[in-house]
Structure 1
Amino acid sequence: MNVFKDYYNNTVQLSFLDHPFSKNPKHVWVICRYKDKWLLTDHKERGMEFPGGKVESGEAAEQAAVREVMEETGATVNKLHYIGQYKVDGRHETVIKNVYYAEVQELTLQSTYYETKGPVLLKKIPENVKNKSNFSFIMKDAVLESCMLRIKKLYV
C-alpha cells in the first residue's frame, strides 16, 4: 500500500489489491488509451484530467466508469481493467475511488460533454504535469504516477 499526501495535503492510501477500502466505492477514475494515445478530458474548471466521476444510485462502479468515459469524451470502452483503489481522507469527507484502465474502441463527436470541454488526445503525459496549470489537481499526486507504472507494466 502506498501512502502519501495529495495536491491539497490530504492523506491518500493507494492499493492495487481487490477493493481494499470498499466493495462499493462511490467514485471512479479511468485512465484511457485510444490508438496509442492517452485520452483525457478537459474539465471546464479543473483542467485536463482522465475521465471519472460519481457512481450513480443502482449503478456498479464498472458501469459508472464506462458511462463517465462516454459522457466526458464520447469514447466507447472496448476493455475495462480494474487497476486499484484509493482512499482520500479529506477535511470534510472520505472519498474512495476505483481506478480503471480503459482500452477505447472508438471516439464519437457529441453535442455535449457535460462538465467538460470534451476529449484531449496526448502522445504522452508530461513528466512535469505537477507544474502545469492546465492540468487538474487530480493528475498531480502519486496516484497517477503509480497507476501509470502499473498500466505500462501490465497493458501498454
Structure 2
Amino acid sequence: MYKFKDYYRNEVTLSFKDHPFSDAPKHVWVICKHKGKWLLTKHKERGLEFPGGKVEESENAKQAAIREVMEETGGAVETIQYVGQYYVSGRKDYIIKNVYFAEVKALIPQDTYYETEGPVLLEKIPENVKRNKQYSFMMKDEVLKHCMNYIKDRKNRQ
C-alpha cells in the first residue's frame, strides 16, 4: 500500500490488492496501449490523460472502464485487467477509483469524444510529466508512477 499527496495536496492511498476500499467504486481510470503505444486522450480543460470517468448506475466498474475508453478515444478494448484501487481523501468528500490496464485492438472514429478531443498515441510517457503543462493533474501524482511500475513488473513475470 502506498500513501502520498496528489496534485491538490489531498491524501491518496493506493493498493494493488483486490478492491481494498470498495467493491463498487464510482470512478475508473484506464491505462491503455494500442499497437505498442500509450493511448491517451486530450481533455478539453485538463490536458493529456488516460481515459476514465464515473461508473453509471447500470454498469459495474469494468464495464465503465471499457465504455470510457471507447467514448474518449474510440478505442475498442481487446483485453482489460484490474490493476488496483485508490482512495482520495478530499477536503469535503472522498473518491474511490479502480485502475485498469487495457490493450486496445482498434481505434474507431467517433462523431464525438465527449469532453475530450479524442485519441493521442505516444511512444512513451515523459519522465517530466509533473512539470509539463500539456498533461492533466491526474498524470502528476504517484498513482501513475506506481501503476506503471506494477504493470511493467506483472508483464515481466508472465
Report how far residue 61 of structure 1 moved: 0.3
Q: TM-score, normalised by structure 1?
A: 0.98
Aligned mates of 2:105, 2:36 — CA distance in 1: 12
Partner of 1:17: 17
Secondary structure class of the residue paired with 1:155: helix
Gap regions ≥5 residues in structure 2:
none
Give the match for residue 36 of structure 2.
36
Aligned pairs for 1:25-104 (under 5 A) are 25-104=25-104
CA-atom RMSD, angstroms?
0.8
**Which whole-Å CA distance do the structure 1 matches of 2:69 and 2:59 have between them?**
15
Aligned length: 156
C-alpha distance after superposition, 1:34-85 (max 9, x if no partner): 0010000000000000000000002100000000000000000000000000
Give distance in 2, aligned partners of 1:44 and 1:33: 21
- Consecutive unaligned residues of structure 1, counting only runs of 5 or more, are none
| % identical aligned pairs | 65
Taking the aligned partners of 2:40 and 2:148, their CA distance within structure 1 comes to: 14
What TM-score results when the alignment is normalised by the length of structure 2? 0.97
CA distance in 1, matches of 2:90, 2:118: 28
Q: Runs ≥4 in structure 1, deviation > 6 angstroms?
A: none
